[in-house]
């Protein structure tokens, strides 16, 4: 590459950062980092009717959570209107653009007429050769497209693409109210910001020939283009809310790790052999556009959940303990006045992380470690807290209360002793204890659980169940 790589992620702030946008941002970020280039964040907010500061903030927070740090920006197009007008004036002076006095109502009627006659709706260029202004009308500005020949594009992902220029209409680049249009400002921005590679979704492919001609009009070499395949839902339709959460922030709230989501997103259309789990350093080292597939990728929530579980399981317990605290606060399990000891919490987390796929699941499981009381599942109560089980629990309470050094080995001895006394299998006494202590039939090893919860809480819970509370 002759010029230093400069790429941009340019979201429109009409909604939160979604899965498709996040993947586009990630591929740009990886391409920049792999090539020691520059990653620019640009907010395309010219749609003033739908763009909001709230969505801009949400996009920035989503990027920050994913740790996709940008080198320049965020630039906002609404602060650059004077720049765009200068470029429009240049095209008008050079005879490469012209004033169009057609009203929206006239254009709509011509569109309907074309459809009724079986023709493709397209501007008929009637204002190209006007002798002067039309009184009483405020004009828009249209760009003069070539009317013959072909536009060729060598897409870095899709390969060679050709467009017939006859299908390109003289598009509006400045509306009658003075606001510029998307296909124009994106080119001006890419020129000003010296963008070398445009990596974006393939829903922009049809915009590309229009933009290429604007580059040519300014005598500027167009950047390289790479259009990413779409992301589809399991039903092979375009990914949308009906397929589950599409907002990046939603996955944060659901207890996913940013690195897990990054890892999953990069595999939606890119591969490096058979490897599934990558560190960020590996992704930067291995990433290339040549390894991006041409086919649409299918979003699989179960695969993402599995991948997140790998990150949960492999994380240090101390790190997980810190990460889970906000979720414990959110669930009301802890408060400013009641927070568990960090070392103790790490020990509790260590016993649960192999069973937890998300931080939400981990926080939920920690409830029976932290809360003074637990809610017992009705089915578990009916099956394992019958009168004969209450007898076991009563005797278990007496055995545990007599232990001075409350550790796993001594706790196990008490359980084994009780089972031998009643000549039953260990599970016959362990499962009722598990239900009474955790409220559920599934938990880590019961001896470990009893030790972590602590002697007094265990005795209190057994007493409540024995007493029928």
The catalytic residues are 241
Q: Alpha-carbon distance 105 to 160, whole Å?
A: 39
Q: Taking the CA of residue 184 as centre, how many other CA atoms within 13 Å lie in the half-sphere pointing to its CB? A: 26
Which residues is 238 bridged to in the sheet?
232
Residue with tokens 């490096």: 272
Beta strand pairing call for 72-76 and 297-298:
unpaired
Contacts of 66 (CB under 8 A, 6+ apart): 22, 25, 26, 248, 258, 261, 262
Q: Which two tokens stand for residue 343?
A: 């070392």
Q: Which two tokens stand for residue 461?
A: 């819970």
In this structure, the chain runs to a length of: 469
Q: Taking the CA of residue 138 as centre, how many other CA atoms within 13 Å lie in the half-sphere pointing to its CB? A: 6
- Which 8-state DSSP code applies to residue 98? E
Q: Alpha-carbon distance 298 to 21, whole Å?
A: 15
Q: Alpha-carbon distance 408 to 448, whole Å?
A: 6
Three-class DSSP category at 238? strand
**Do 257 and 313 contact (CB within 8 A), yes or no?**
no
The alpha-carbon radius of gyration of the chain (Å, integer) is 32
Number of H helices, E strands in the chain: 19, 12
Which residues is 159 bridged to in the sheet?
155
Q: What is the dihedral of CA 110, 114, 116, 118, to 10 degrees?
A: 180
């Amino acid at each position: 590459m002759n010029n230093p790589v400069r790429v941009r992620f340019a979201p429109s702030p009409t909604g939160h950062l979604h899965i498709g946008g996040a993947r586009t941002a990630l591929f740009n970020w990886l391409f920049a980092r792999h090539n020691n280039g520059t990653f620019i964040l640009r907010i395309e907010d010219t749609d003033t009717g739908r763009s909001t500061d709230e969505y801009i903030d949400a996009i920035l927070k989503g990027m920050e959570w994913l740790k996709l740090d940008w080198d320049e920006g965020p630039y906002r197009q609404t602060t650059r209107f004077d720049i765009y007008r200068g470029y429009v004036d240049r095209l008008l002076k050079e005879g490469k653009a012209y004033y169009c006095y057609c009203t929206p109502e006239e254009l709509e009627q011509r569109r309907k007429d074309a459809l009724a006659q079986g023709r493709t709706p397209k501007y008929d260029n009637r204002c190209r050769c006007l002798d002067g202004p039309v009184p009483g009308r405020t004009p828009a500005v249209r760009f003069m497209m070539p009317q013959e020949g072909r536009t060729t594009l060598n897409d870095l992902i899709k390969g060679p693409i050709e467009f017939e220029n006859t299908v390109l209409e003289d598009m509006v680049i400045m509306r009658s109210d003075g606001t510029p249009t998307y296909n124009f400002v994106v080119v001006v921005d890419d020129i000003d910001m010296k963008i070398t590679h445009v990596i974006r979704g393939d829903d922009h492919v049809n915009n590309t020939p229009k933009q290429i001609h604007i580059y040519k009009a300014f005598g500027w070499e167009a950047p390289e283009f790479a259009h990413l395949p779409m992301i589809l839902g399991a039903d092979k339709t375009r990914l949308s809310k009906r397929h589950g959460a599409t907002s990046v922030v939603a996955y944060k709230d659901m207890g996913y790790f940013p690195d897990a989501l990054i890892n999953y997103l990069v595999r939606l259309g890119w591969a490096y052999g058979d490897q599934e789990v990558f560190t960020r350093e590996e992704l930067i080292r291995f990433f290339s556009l040549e390894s991006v597939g041409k086919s649409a990728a299918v979003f699989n929530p179960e695969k993402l959940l599995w991948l997140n579980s790998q990150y949960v399981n492999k994380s240090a317990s101390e790190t997980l303990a810190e990460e889970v605290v906000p979720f414990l606060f959110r669930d009301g399990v802890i408060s400013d006045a009641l927070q568990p000891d960090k070392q103790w919490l790490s020990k509790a987390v260590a016993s649960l992380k192999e069973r937890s796929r998300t931080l939400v699941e981990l926080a939920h499981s920690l409830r029976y470690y932290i809360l003074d009381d637990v809610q017992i599942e009705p089915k578990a109560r009916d099956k394992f807290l019958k009168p004969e089980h209450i007898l076991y629990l009563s005797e278990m309470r007496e055995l545990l209360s007599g232990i001075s050094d409350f550790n796993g080995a001594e706790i196990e001895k008490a359980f084994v002793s009780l089972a031998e006394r009643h000549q039953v299998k260990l599970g016959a006494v362990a499962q009722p204890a598990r239900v009474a202590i955790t409220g559920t039939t599934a938990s880590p090893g019961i001896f470990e659980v009893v030790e972590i919860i602590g002697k007094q809480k265990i005795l209190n819970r057994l007493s409540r169940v024995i007493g029928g509370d």
